[in-house]
Amino acid sequence: MSRENPVNSFPNERGGFDTVADSSLTRAERTQRVLDLWVVASMRVVWNDARARIGAVLVLGFVVMGVVGPALVAEPRVGQAPLLVGPFQGGIVGGRWYELTSTSLFGVSVPWVALHWPLGTDNVGRGILEQIVHATPRMLTMIASAGLFVTVLGTSIGALAGYSGGRIDQLLSTVIDIVMTLPGLPLLLILVALLEPKNPVVLGVVLSLQGWAGMARAIRSQVLTIRSTSYVEAAQAMGLSTPTIVGKEIVPNIMPFVMINMVNAMRGVIFASVGLYFLGLLPFSEVVNWGVMLQLAYSNGGLLTVDAAHWLLVPMVAIILLSMGLILFAQGMDRVFNPRVRARHAKTTGDSEETESTETPTRAVSMEGNL
């Protein structure tokens, strides 16, 4: 039986409802409120923000491509198609026109070649779409492992150093400074040459091995300003442990900053992996990768001939779209982590028109300046 909340039902400054108010609710009502506040309201905030909506669609599209695509699209192999067929068309190769038949699609006659190889083929007859799709799972695994590694290590060390102070802060800051001063590119080349990583998880961690230090340094500076707030001092007066205070009171308030740094680390891994594959510094004998596609297209006249231009452009577009999707989604998440904006959407059942002036985060860090 549903009961009305006798106390103020507005959320507190950390995004949760008042304890006295929650005590008068049943377990089902509390569960419904938590789902409404953290799941439904977050989805509404994302959908009402144009940046987050576009970014979420792009990222979700690549996730679907990486998860479902390999099961639906045939694995690329040599000779599966005519050579250097252009995107969405047939092609003349060796004096022969490769448009074997036409298929009626919604009353329109569509070339058979365009249906089977919509993004064209390379110089050995492998479909460009097939290569893009089968390279996506490794790329997603790589950037996910890098983002998780950088976020967990950088956030935990930076928040602990900023909150603890004293000798712990000095020790952790020294470790951060040492890692930051290491030469990035030479170290990366040495590790890649020694390990020759083929596992995407290992490769993602290796490529982001120094990324956590800059994030830890930035988060430490943010925590130094947050640790003197009233709710942190109240948690200290209650005798809560340091991990509890850092995890529940401090980290949620720097999540927009953490999010944008995680996305920057993921973008860095995308560019680093593509660059190393392009230069031939990573083994790719049996690996399908966007960087490998760029290297093969470049070495086979992708910059010199129109017939091979699509071979070079398609992986570049894939890299741009994935990077742009991550950036836009991270920017839109700034409002999701604002408890006032999230609570406002949780109390509405229809479309809510909110102005930017009333939805400015109270303690969230603005992310546009970090891009």
In a domain, 14, yes or no: no
d(CA 130, CA 62): 14
Q: Is the predicted pLDDT of residue 329 greater than 70, yes or no?
A: yes
pTM listed for this prediction: 0.76
In a domain, 265, yes or no: yes
Where helices occur in 95-199 by DSSP H, the ranges are: 112-116, 128-164, 166-181, 184-195
In a domain, 229, yes or no: yes
In a domain, 9, yes or no: no
Residue 247 CB coordination number (10 Å): 14
The total number of structural domains in the chain stands at: 1
Per the structure, the complete domain to which residue 35 belongs is given by: 21-77+125-370
Q: Is the predicted pLDDT of residue 350 greater than 70, yes or no?
A: no
| Tokens found for residue 96 | 């022969």
Q: Is the predicted pLDDT of residue 362 greater than 50, yes or no?
A: no
In a domain, 102, yes or no: no
Phi, psi at 108, each rounded to 5°: -115, 135
Q: Is the predicted pLDDT of residue 353 greater than 50, yes or no?
A: no
pLDDT-derived band at 151 (thresholds 50, 70, 90) equals very high
In a domain, 280, yes or no: yes
> At 95, is the secondary structure helix, strand, or coil?
coil
pLDDT of residue 357: 39
Once rounded to an integer, what is the mean pLDDT over residues 129-140? 93
Q: What is the CATH number of the domain that holds 35?
A: 1.10.3720.10
Strand 96-97 relative to strand 102-105, pairing: unpaired
Q: What is the CA radius of gyration of the chain?
A: 25
Per mean pLDDT, which range of 80-89, 134-143, 201-210, 286-295 is the poorest?
Answer: 80-89
In a domain, 112, yes or no: no
Q: How confident is the prediction for the chain on average, in pLDDT?
A: 78
In a domain, 12, yes or no: no
pLDDT of residue 51: 86
